[in-house]
Chain A
């Protein structure tokens, strides 16, 4: 039995297989519509989430399966002081697979240690959010047709943004990847990402502050939100939050075949005027999130796939 805790749990070959399955699901949704008719997904969400929980639920429903669960710690037995270990042992009796989000880092790993069903980490604090990374990889592969030989710009909060760190760790496993790390001085990628991930894998990267400088070079622009909860004082947040605003004028500097991604929710960092640009791919990205979660559920449940 396998669980998914980190995007690096899958080898490049396994990931390739998973993404290929997700692409087949996208093209032939009917083929998979009843493949999980007798299966149940438990969504154990100890903190609020809109997109991730709905995306998991939509994924299971698209496969014909059923969904049960809770969407906040208050409505679960955690409010009565039940441990994660006990909760998952009980949930294992009710469902075939579990997606867990928890504010404490490592909680899904603890669940996987006591579970008799596959556990998917649906986000644990600021630590990991592997299904977002799988979504990003599927989106890039679907839009560009490859995951190698790409110039990728990561823009915004590169210091605290876990999606950015996970995406870098996942992409350095492919050849010909080049990064533009676009951030203000205060929000640069942490040194361990520079030293232990980028330098160790001999990946080329350029750190710049101005988006305009990097945008003409990019195949993919990955925008991120500056998160209020990461700042100790409101003043710093206010100073940083609108540091980057992607608008029509900046999009004119970009290539015709560049795509804009964003893990969502966006606030001001992408102007709504960009939404109608064919290169704005962030809502398609949310759709790819459903396909990749469907593929993940099928993979972890080891369901026999239709021909």
Chain B
């Protein structure tokens, strides 16, 4: 068993589908944070067979974890404080997703306007439909499921 040191304060994202940790690392912009990140890939899992885990040591209000809910509902988020799990956060679909995916509509203003954020809004929570804020095109890309 591989051991990575316990966190004092931060998050543990558990039950990530094997091989998807790097995608989440980028989507959460962890590369831009000045904090310790540990990634465990292909760990054994009773639930999934194989799984990835990400441990992030940072103040708990520093990350917007809603995006994880968009990527995969099944990921478990454990919030750590004083080296203990203080909360298991329930994931919900974010109402707004900024600069995670791109609008693929060639007629959308985002295809030519420089410096414009790529924004998707949750238009149908039941069917989990996201639409581009600008052209209202449905997001048809692959989520991490």
Prevailing SS type, chain B contact patch: loop
Residues of B within 8 A of A106 (CB): 108-110, 132-136
Residues of A within 8 A of B107 (CB): 103-105, 125-127
- Asked, given contacts A109-B134, A127-B136, whether A104 binds B115 with beta carbons under 8 Å apart, the answer is no
Determine which residue in B107, B111, B115 has the highest number of CB atoms from chain A within 10 A of its CB, and name it. B107
- Asked, given contacts A109-B133, A110-B134, A127-B136, whether A102 binds B113 with beta carbons under 8 Å apart, the answer is no
Residues of B within 8 A of A214 (CB): none
Question: A84 an interface residue at 8 Å Cβ cutoff?
Answer: yes
Question: A107 an interface residue at 8 Å Cβ cutoff?
Answer: yes
Please encode chain B, from 70 to 114, with 1 for each CB lying within 8 Å of some chain A CB and 0 for all others.
Answer: 000000000000000000000000000000000001011111111
Docked Cα-Cα span, A82 to B86, in Å, equals 51
Question: B6 an interface residue at 8 Å Cβ cutoff?
Answer: no
- Asked, given contacts A106-B134, A106-B135, A109-B134, whether A83 binds B108 with beta carbons under 8 Å apart, the answer is no
Q: How many residues of A contact B (CB 8 A)?
A: 16
Residues of B within 8 A of A107 (CB): 109, 113, 134
Residues of B within 8 A of A105 (CB): 105, 107-109, 134-137
Question: B116 an interface residue at 8 Å Cβ cutoff?
Answer: yes
Docked Cα-Cα span, A126 to B136, in Å, equals 11
By size class, the interface of chain B is 10 to 19
Prevailing SS type, chain A contact patch: mixed
Question: A85 an interface residue at 8 Å Cβ cutoff?
Answer: yes
Residues of A within 8 A of B108 (CB): 104-106
Docked Cα-Cα span, A196 to B131, in Å, equals 14
Residues of A within 8 A of B113 (CB): 83-85, 104, 107, 110
Residues of B within 8 A of A85 (CB): 113, 115-116
Q: In the complex, what residue of chain B is closest to A125 when comparing beta carbons?
A: B107
Determine which residue in A105, A106, A107, A126 has the highest number of CB atoms from chain B within 10 A of its CB, and name it. A106
Contact A83 B110 (CB under 8 A): no
